[in-house]
Structure 1
Amino acid sequence: MSSSSFVSIRCLPSTSPPGIHPHRRPSILPTPHSVSTSGTSLGTTAHPGSSVGGIVDRTEPRVEERDGYWALKEKFRSGINPQEKIKLEKDPMRLFLEDGALEEFAAIPFEEIDGSKAGKDDIDVRLKWLGLFHRRKHQYGRFMMRLKLPNGVTTSAQTRYLASVIRKYGKDGCADVTTRQNWQIRGVVLPDVPGIIKGLAEVGLTSLQSGMDNVRNPVGNPLAGIDPEEIVDTCPYTISLSQFITGNLHGNTDFTNLPRKWNVAVVGSHDLYEHPHINDLAYMPAVKDGVFGFNLLVGGFFSPKRCEEAIPLDAWVSEDDVIPVCKAILEAYRDLGTRGNRQKTRMMWLIDEMGMDAFRVEVVKRMPRQVLERASPGDLVQKKWERREYLGVHPQKQEGLSFVGLHIPVGRIQADEMDELARLADEYGTSELRLTVEQNIIIPNIDNSRVEALLKEPLLQGRFSPEPPILMKGLVACTGNQFCGQAIIETKARALKVTEEVGRLVSVDRPVRMHWTGCPNSCGQVQVADIGFMGCMTRDENGKTCEGVDVFLGGRIGSDSHLGELYKKGVPCKDVVPLVKKILIEHFGAVPREREESEE
C-alpha cells in the first residue's frame, strides 16, 4: 500500500440533513507523514543510529526549537513520570517503523527479552504502541491485541481473519467487542506478531497506535448511512480521522507521544449512541450560515483520580476543518500537557490549568489560517429525544432493507462464533458488521424478504439473540481479572450471573443499563450507567477481606447526559444481588416476581 492510499471501508451514502447544504464527504485532508525505509519520520527527532540534522544517536532528551514529536521542553526535563522516561529511552514506534526490527525482536526467546529492564519495558510498555498488551499477571507470555476499527465498521473477511488468529490459541484465544466499537483479540504470542500484523494489513486492518499515549479508536454512529433518522453519516469522518492519526496505517509519529491517551467521537444521531460527553474531543453536528459543520466539545474522560464530562470549546468547524482542528487540538495537548503525575495528565487537567479561553487561543494558533469560528447556535441534535433501541429488527433508510441488532453477552466471542457471524453477514447482508459501544453487533443491509430466515439461524436462537432478556440489553462489562492485571475482580461472568439471578427475582418494564468495571480505571464506564459496579476489595460481615464493588447510581446518556454518583461503597460481591433487587424496586419500578405470581 502506498503512503497516500486509503483503506477502503464501504459505508452507504447519506442523504443531506433537511434544510442545509447537501452533505459532502471531507474533501481536504492533511497529507499523512511519509515514513522513509530507514524508519525516520519527516520532521521528527532522529532514531538512535540514524542521522538527521547532525544528530546521530538520541540517548539524551533533545530539545528542539519547535514543540515537535520527541521534543522534551525544558520544564519537563525533571519530574517526568516513569512512562515518559521509557519513551525517551527508546522510541516505541521503532519496532514498527524500522525494516525488520519487529521480526528480529519477535524471534528472540521471550524469557531472554524479559530478563532485562529494557526488555521488560519493551514487553510491558512499548509494545502497546503496536496495540499489544502483555498479560503478565494472568497469561504470562501472551498478549491482548487491540485494533483500530473506525466507526465500528468491519467486514466478513476481517472477522474471519481475526477468528483464524485466535483459533490457534485454543482456550487462551478469544475476542471481545469493546466500549469503543472495537475488536480486541486474546492469546497472542510474540513470535506470531509479525505475521499477524501482515495479515491485518492484507484485510485492511491495523493495531498500530491503539494503546498507551495514543489516540483511541474514533467512535461514530453504529447506524451510519442506514439510519432513517440520522443527522449525518459519521463514517467518512471517523475513517478520515483514523487514517490521519495512523498515517494511513504507516504510522504518524506526530501523535504517538501524547501525555496520555485521547478519545474522539463524531456524532451523527439524536440518540447520541456515540457517548460524546466522555470523549476528549466530540464533534456535534451544527449548521452555521447555511453551512453544515460541527460544534466541538472537549475534555471528557474517566480516570481513578477524576471523571469529567466534556465541555464546549466555543468553536464551530466546517466539514473541511474536521481534520485540521483535530490536529490543532492534539498539538496543543501534546506540546503543553504536563508529563508528571499520570493521574493528572489527561487533556482536561491542561484545560483547567490554562483556562478554556487560553486553551482555545493555543488551538487557534495551530489552525492552518489561525482562525477558529465561535460555536453555532444551530445545533442539529434534538434536545428532547427518546433514545431508540437498535437491538432487534429495524427498517433502514434504504427501501426494502433492514438491519438486525444482536446482543453479544458482555462482548465476549469465540472463533467459531466469529466465523458464523461472518457467514451470516455474507449470506443475508453485504458482508458488513457494525460494532457498538455497548459491546453488541449489528448486521446491516438485509433484504426484508430474508429477515425471517436470518432470525431462525441457530446463532440467533442461542447466545446472540436479537431479543435478549430486558435486563441483559444494557449489560456492559470490562475484561476483568480473568485477563487484565489491573482488574481487582472478575467482571464478565459475574455480570452475567448477577443479572440472571436478579432477573429471576424481579420484573422490569424497561431496560436498565448496568455496567461492570474491574478497577477505578473504569473501562466499563460505570459512571454513565443507570447502575454501575466498580471492583474493589472490601470486608464481609465477619471482617474477612473479599472481592467487592463500589456501586454508582444515576448515570445518564443522551441529550440529558450526566455522570452517576457513588451510591454505596465496598459491597461484598456475594451481597450484590439483593442490593440490585432493592435498587431496581426503589428506583426503576421493578416488581418482585413472587408478588406478580401471587396476584395472578
Structure 2
Amino acid sequence: MSSQVVTEGFTDEQKEYLQGFFAGLSARKFAPFVGTLPDGLITASSAPGLKNEAAAAGSSEQTVFGTPVSDLCEQEIWKLEQHGLDIWDKLLAHATENRFPDKADTFRFRYHGLFYVAPNQNSFMLRCRVPGGQLNGLQLRGLANIADDWGAGYADLTTRANIQIREIAPKHLVKVLLKLQELGMTSRGSGVDNVRNITATPTSGIDAFELIDSLPYAKALHYYILNNRDLYNLPRKFNIAFDGGGAISVVADTNDIGFLAVKVGENKPVPPGVYFRVQLAGITGHSQFAGDAGVLVRLEESVAVAAAMIRVFAENGDRTDRRKARLKYLIDKWGIPKFIEDVEKKLAFPLQRMPVTDCIPAHPPISHGHLGVYKQKQKGRNYIGVSVPVGRMRTRQMRRVADLADNYGTGELRLTVWQNLLVPNIPDAYVETVKRALLRVGLYHEATSIAGGVIACTGNTGCKFAATNTKGQAVELVKYLEKRVSLDRPINIHLTGCPHSCAQHYIGDIGLLGTQVSLGGEQSDGYHVFFGGTSGPHEVLAREVFHGIPFQELPALLERVLHRYLAKRTRNESFREFVSRYQVKELQEMFSGD
C-alpha cells in the first residue's frame, strides 16, 4: 500500500496531523485506510479525489433521515436544535460562571465526555477515550494530576477499557478538556449517541496466542470517527470491539459490532490466512449476544466495513423511541441479510459470504488471564496483569504505576474490559522488583479467585440510574467471601446497579442486578441474583435464580452457594458448568436454607 497520504481538501494543520498520524502507523508496519469516493462509496484503498467527510453537513428542515421532525424523540430535537460538537462557547460560559447546564445542554455536554451526574453528585464526571485501551505513563500521570487538581483524587477504570474522573466542578470544565488535549488524549464523543471507546485485545502485539495485532485497527477507526462529523449524532450509543485472539477476552460478542480474528485454511473460497468474522447487535442488557453476520472481512477492509455499518445505522435506526434505538432493534426489524446488503451498497468492494464453520477460531482466552505475570512473544519480556479492586485507583497508585511502566518497561500501559490494567514489556530481571513495588501501593499482580473476578459499575454514589451502592458492596462481598470460601477455580461476580447493565451481570458466573427492596417497612439495597453466564465460544446468558434479596442477606447466600458448588460438583467442573446442569427451581432448592 502506498505510504503517500492523500490530504487534498484539508487545512495545512490537518495535513500536518494526518502525515504524522500515518507515519506513526507505518512504524507498526501497517496503516489501515478508509476513505470516501466522490460517488459516496467507502473504500479501503487510497486514491486521489477522496471526499472530505469531516465537513459539516446540512440537515433537512422537514425530516431527519426520513423521520418527520414532529415524530422525533426529545433528545433528537435537542440534536437538531444544536449539534453537540458546536457548544464550545457554552462550555466556556458555564466554566466562567461556575454554572451547571440545563437539561438539553446536559445532554450536549456529553458529546465532550462531560457528564453532569446530579443528584448523586452535584458535579461532573469526565469520560476519556483510550482507543484499544493503550496509553502511556505520561498520560496516566497527567490524568492523576487532573484528578488531584480538579477532581476528588481518584479515577475509575471502566468495562470499556477506559478511564473516568469524577467530582469536577463546572468552573474547571475547560481546564480539564485542555489538559486532556495536552496529554494527546480526547473525550470527544465518549457519551450519549456516539461511537463509544473502541476496544481491542489488551495483549495486542505482545501475545504469543494472538492471530493478529488488533490495536492498529481500533486506533485507525478511532481517528476516522473523530474526524468525520457524520459519525456523531447516531440514534443511540454504539460499541465496537476488535478481537485478535489471545489470552484476555475483550467480550466482543457484547458489542454492536465485533470483529473477531479467525484463520482460513486451504481449499476455501478465499486465500488462506487471517481474516475478521463480523458479529452484530450484541446488547446483553437486552438479553442478546452479538450474532454472526455470515461474512468474512479482509483485515485491511475492516475499518471501511465498520464505517459503512455505522452509517447504515445512523440513517435507518429509530429516532422516535430511545428504548428501541440500538442496532439490535434495526436488525430485529430488517434481519441481518438486509442489513449486510445495505452495508454493501456503501462499499467500493464486495463482502465475502462464508459459513463460520469453515473458519478456524482463535485460541480461547485464559480465565482470569488479565491477572498475573505472563511471557510475551518478545523474548525476555513479560506483561503483568494488575488487580484494581472494582476499578478504582487513587492518584498515588496511578503515579506509581506510571513510574513503573517508565522505569522498568517501555512506558506503555494497557487497560482491559475487566476494570484492571497491564504493565507490558517488563524484562525478566525486573519482574520481582515491579511486583514488590505494586504491593507497596496496595496493588496486586495476583488476586484470589474471588477478588480477581469482581466487576462493579459506578453505583448510586455517582449514577442516577443505579439502585444500589455497587462498588462499596462489591468490596464488602469480597472481604466476606475471602474469609469463608476457598476456591481452586476462578469465578466472576458482576454487580450492576440498574437494567442498563454497564457491568454486564448477564455474563457473570454470578450476576447481581441492583434493586430496592422492602426490609422492616423501609426501602433498602437489594439484588436480583443470576447464575451461569459467560461470553465467548460458550456464550450463555445468566438465569435469574433469586429475586429481590436484601444486601444484608446476600453475603451469607453467596457463601452457601459456593460451598454447595464445591461439595456437589464433578471433578474440575466450573461454576457455570455446574449450575447449567440444573433447572432454576432445583437451584433455588439446593441453595436455600441451611
In the alignment, is residue 126 of structure 1 matched against residue 108 of structure 2? yes
* Rounded Cα–Cα distance in structure 2 between residues aligned with 1:139 and 1:394: 40
Q: After superposition, where does 1:143-542 map in structure 2 within 5 Å?
A: 143-169=124-150, 172-247=152-227, 252-271=228-247, 273-286=249-262, 287=264, 288-303=270-285, 306-369=286-349, 371-375=350-354, 377=356, 378-382=358-362, 387=367, 389-457=369-437, 459-540=438-519, 542=520
1:30 is the counterpart of 2:6: no
Question: C-alpha distance in 1, partners of 2:336/2:251?
Answer: 22
1:561 to 510, 514, 539: 539
Amino acid corresponding to residue 269 of structure 1 in structure 2: G
Superposition deviation, residue 130 in structure 1: 0.4
The 3-state SS of whatever aligns with 1:520 is coil
Measured against aligned partners, the alpha-carbon deviations of 1:405-424 in whole angstroms (never above 9, x if no partner) come to: 11000000121211111111
Identity %: 31
- Inter-CA distance 9–503: structure 2 relative to 1 (3 Å threshold): farther
Q: Which residue of 1 aligns with 2:87?
A: 95
Determine if contact 1:12/1:226 at 8 Å carries over to the other structure.
Answer: no
User: Contact 2:33–2:220 at 8 Å: present in 1 too?
Assistant: no
Alignment RMSD (CA, Å): 2.6
Q: Relative to 1, partners in 2 of residues 1:230 and 1:77: Cα closer, same or farther, differing over 3 Å?
A: same
Deviates more, 1:372-381 or 1:271-280: 372-381
Q: For the residues of structure 2 that align with 1:486 and 1:548, how far apart are their CA atoms? A: 15
Secondary structure of the 1:482 match is: coil
TM-superposed CA distance for 1:555, in Å, is 0.6
Q: Contact 1:106–1:194 (CA<8 Å) still a contact in 2?
A: yes
Aligned partners of 1:589, 1:31: CA distance in 2, in Å?
A: 61
CA distance in 2, matches of 1:11, 1:513: 36
- 1:551 is aligned with what amino acid? V
| SS, match of residue 338 in structure 2 | helix
Gaps of 5+ in 2: 1-12, 39-52, 265-269, 570-594
C-alpha distance in 2 between matches for 1:8 and 1:193: 31
Task: Say which SS state the counterpart of residue 512 (structure 2) adopts.
Answer: strand
SS in 1 for 2:97: coil
1:333-382 deviation per Cα after TM superposition (whole angstroms, max 9, x unaligned): 1111111221111101100111222112111111124x221135453424
Equivalent-residue separation in structure 2 for 1:319 and 1:194 (angstroms) = 39
- Alpha-carbon distance between aligned partners in 1 of 2:169 and 2:375, rounded to the nearest angstrom: 43
Cα deviation digits, residues 14-51 of structure 1 (max 9, x gap): 8xxxxxxxxx6244222799xxxxxx9525117xxxxx
Distance 2:278 2:255 in 1: 11
Shift in Å at residue 200 of structure 1? 1.7
CA distance in 1, matches of 2:464, 2:26: 40
- Shift of residue 437 of structure 1? 0.6
* Secondary structure in 2 matching 1:487: coil
Q: TM-score, normalised by structure 2?
A: 0.85
8 Å CA contact 2:282–2:288 kept in 1: the answer is yes
The match for 2:75 among 80, 83, 86 is 83
| Higher helix proportion | 2
TM-score (norm. length: structure 1): 0.84
Tell me the CA shift for residue 452 of structure 1: 1.4
1:106 matched to 2:95? The reply is yes
**1:200-233 deviation line (CA, Å, top 9, x unaligned):** 2222110000000000111111111111111111
- Per-residue CA shift, 1:74-132, capped at 9, x if unaligned? 43433322111211121111025xxx564345323406xx4xxxx3321x210000011
Q: Tell me if the contact between 1:6 and 1:243 (Cα under 8 Å) persists in the aligned partners.
A: no
Q: Could you tell me how far apart the structure 2 residues matched to 1:490 and 1:12 are? A: 46
Could you tell me how far apart the structure 1 residues matched to 2:54 and 2:97 are? 26
Q: CA separation in 2, counterparts of 1:10 and 1:580?
A: 50
The 3 A distance-change label for structure 1 pair 484 and 258 is: same
Q: Distance in 1 between matches of 2:502 and 2:441?
A: 27
Find the aligned partners of 1:589 and 1:440 in 2 and give their Cα distance. Answer: 31
Instruction: Identify the residue that residue 9 of structure 2 maps to in structure 1.
Output: none
Structure 1 regions of 5+ residues with no counterpart?
Answer: 15-23, 34-39, 47-60, 64-70, 592-600
Aligned length: 534
Q: How many Å apart are 1:13 and its aligned residue?
A: 8.7
Distance of 1:121 and 1:245 partners within structure 2: 24
Q: Which residue is equivalent to 1:597? A: none
Deviation string for 1:494-520 (max 9, x for gaps)? 101112101212211111100111111
Q: Which moved more, 1:214-223 or 1:290-299?
A: 290-299
Note if contact 1:534-1:550 (Cα within 8 Å) is conserved in structure 2: yes
Instruction: Give secondary structure in 2 for the equivalent of 1:187.
Output: strand
Given that 2:202 and 2:248 are in contact with CA atoms closer than 8 Å, whether structure 1 keeps it comes out as no
CA change 1:212–1:496 in 2 (3 A) is same
CA distance in 1, matches of 2:445, 2:510: 23
Is the 8 Å Cα contact of residues 129 and 210 (structure 1) preserved in structure 2?
A: yes
Q: In structure 1, what is the Cα distance between the partners aligned to 2:521 and 2:206?
A: 55
Please, which of 58, 61, 69 is the counterpart of residue 45 of structure 1? 58
User: Any idea what SS the aligned residue of 2:196 has?
Assistant: coil
Distance 1:551 1:328 in 2: 39
Deviations 1:370-413, CA, capped at 9 Å, x for gaps: x2211354534247665462311111111111111110000001
Contact 1:584 1:590 in 2 (8 A): no
Q: 1:74 to 1:376 in 2, by over 3 A?
A: closer
Residue 488 of structure 1 and its aligned partner are, at CA, apart by 0.9
CA contact (8 A) 2:211 2:362 kept: no
Range 376-385 or range 500-509, more displaced: 376-385
Q: CA deviation at 1:558?
A: 2.9
